[in-house]
Amino acid sequence: MSTTTRPRFATRALLLHLATVALVVVLCTGVYLLLTVQQLRAEAEATALGIARTVAEDPDVRAEVARISAANDRPDAEALRHGELQSIAMRVSDRTGALFVVITDEDGIRLAHPTTARIGEVVSTPFAEVLAGNEVVDWQTGTLGESARAKVPVLDDDGTPVGEVSVGFERTGVFDDLPPLLTVIGLTAVGALTLAVLTFLLLRRRWERLTLGVQPEELVALVQNQTAVLNGVDDGVLAVDTDGIVRVSNDAADRMLGLESPIGRALIDLALPAAVIETVRDSRSRSHAVVDERVLYLDSRPVVRAGRPLGDVLIIRDRTDLVALTERLETVRTMTAALRVQRHEFANRMHVAAGLIDADRVPGARAFLGELVERGSVAFPVDGLDVLSDPFLHSFLGAKGVEAGERGVALRVADSSQLIGSVAEPEDVAAVLGNLVDNAVTAAVAGPRIPRWVEVAVFSDGDALVVTVADSGHGLGDVDPLSPRPSEDGDPDSVHGHGLGLPLSREIARRRHGDLWIIDHGGAEHGAVFAARLHGAVSAPTTAHEERP
């Protein structure tokens, strides 16, 4: 089975280019030759007509032709061969290079002819129109062959045609200038083809430099593959050339970076966050960056082909949902730890109660169980926790209090807290409140104040849950943790979540038509105070005893 290799684009373009130039040259040459032939024919006819008119106006010719035409006898051919008309015709023919100069009378009998033997004979071409007083210019074939002929009537003194003068130029004489002209045209055509080849070679070299040697068929496949790949993945792709102009941006990149028609525009003109511009400019990867309150992974790679730098490609991955899920899993872990503590404490108490019963100390067992009923399941180290009747918040803040206590921080609930109803969205509440508490505990540990504390206040406003978290840390100073800027190595500052936690929590709050903001940056008596509001996070109380006046 034989296979054929299709010629490369450059070869096919060269052949097409040469064929086009050759066709243009042939057409131009043909048109030029046609015009030249027509011009030569016209010049020959005009020259013959001028000579014929001059001879026909000669007084001697007019007189002699009129005399011969007036005679009743047929002209004497022998006398005409040596006569004045023959002499005049031969002199004119010699001076002008004409093929012939023929003079006839009114009957068409030759009075002068280059071939003396034909003098006295009737001409071989029509002459009636000329004797009618008209001039005739045409290409005709006679006894001397084809020639450009001009026939002019010879008039007597009264203006009556009494004969004709016919002057002709042979074809070969007319086109004597064509061979050198064809040579010039041929050399011009060869020069045009040579110039076309050189031009194409330069164009091909320029084309291959621009396309890096990729052929048009490959470019089509690349465009198709690029469109399919770029718009078929969830990751954002932003390509910037060496001049900082955006050349590729898929739908995911436009969506995550909030861009609109960025292709062809300078990167610095797109109003992108500094983290994105620095990542592209420095050609490095960042573990995370927060852009428009979304947690994005940025990875910039330089693109080099054949040792030539082409620009940079930025890969963008949205990690908002993943980080949010991580926060919620951390909340679940905290709740699991709290439940494990409760289970362990409950098991210990059941062992005590069982021991009292086994020892027949029933009154002591009853008293112990009654005390358990009054104290609750587990005594969490959180002051004011009993203010909250919601079981979720009670357990969640209790578990956070255990973790804070392990770090030397006292967690407390403000006496002013008032929650009417119960938490309806525990995942979002745990993500936002847990992040605020964790950040506050970290700030308190790093702060100079002793004792270290964190205070949480919880309020309900209709179906909205409002929480405030204060700590004993340094405070924020001039730092705005809600507008995070990743550090040089891509790891965010852990104090007050100067990276992912707070922006992500604010994003969760805003998804619930709420917000997260800073009440106080901190001062001499306390550290920073944050607040969050989540709509739809509180459900109405089902029984009257759940309401706290």
Instruction: Give the DSSP per-residue string, 184-229.
Output: HHHHHHHHHHHHHHHHHHHHHHHHHHHHTT--HHHHHHHHHHHHHH
- Strands 382-383 and 410-413, bridge-based pairing: parallel
- pLDDT tens, N- to C-terminus, the chain (549 residues): 444 455 666 677 777 877 888 888 888 888 888 887 787 778 878 888 888 888 888 888 888 888 888 887 788 788 888 888 888 889 888 888 888 888 888 888 888 888 888 888 888 788 888 888 888 888 777 666 667 778 899 888 888 888 899 888 876 555 566 677 778 877 887 888 888 888 888 887 887 777 766 666 676 667 666 665 666 566 788 888 888 888 888 777 787 787 888 888 888 888 777 777 777 777 666 656 666 666 777 878 887 877 778 888 887 777 766 666 776 676 677 667 666 766 776 777 778 778 888 888 888 888 877 777 666 556 678 899 888 888 888 888 988 888 898 899 999 999 999 999 899 888 888 888 988 998 999 999 988 888 999 999 999 999 999 999 999 998 887 777 776 544 444 444 444 444 567 877 888 888 888 999 999 988 888 899 999 999 999 987 755 444 443
- For 467-482, the pLDDT digits (tens) are 999 999 988 877 777 7
Please identify which residue in the block is written with the tokens 């045209």. Answer: 185
Distance (Å) of CA 337 to CA 248, 380, 399: 48, 13, 7
Q: Per the confidence metrics, is the pTM higher than 0.75?
A: no
- Looking at residue 504, its amino acid is L
Burial class from Cβ neighbours inside 10 Å (0-12, 13-18, 19+) for residue 450 reads exposed
CA–CA dist 285, 55 (Å, integer):
102
Distances (CA, A) of 430 to 197, 363, 539: 75, 42, 16
Helix/strand/coil (H, E, C) string of 169-183?
A: EEHHHHCCCHHHHHH
Q: Do domains 232-318 and 378-546 have the same CATH topology?
A: no
Return the CATH architecture of domain 232-318. 2-Layer Sandwich (3.30)
CA pair distance 107, 97, nearest whole angstrom: 27
Per-residue pLDDT at 545: 42
Instruction: Mark 273-301 as b/e (b = at least 16 C-beta within 10 Å).
Output: bebbbbbbeeebebebbbbebbbbbbebe
**Residue 94 CB contacts under 8 Å (≥ 6 apart), including other chains:** none
Fold of the CATH domain 10-174: Beta-Lactamase (3.30.450)
pLDDT of residue 2: 43
* Superfamily name with CATH number, domain 378-546: Histidine kinase-like ATPase, C-terminal domain (3.30.565.10)
Is the bond into 549 cis (omega within 30 degrees of 0)? no
Please report, as a single letter, which amino acid is at residue 511. Answer: R
Q: What is the pLDDT of residues 74-102, one digit of tens each?
A: 887 888 888 888 888 898 888 888 888 88
Domain ranges of the chain: 10-174, 232-318, 378-546
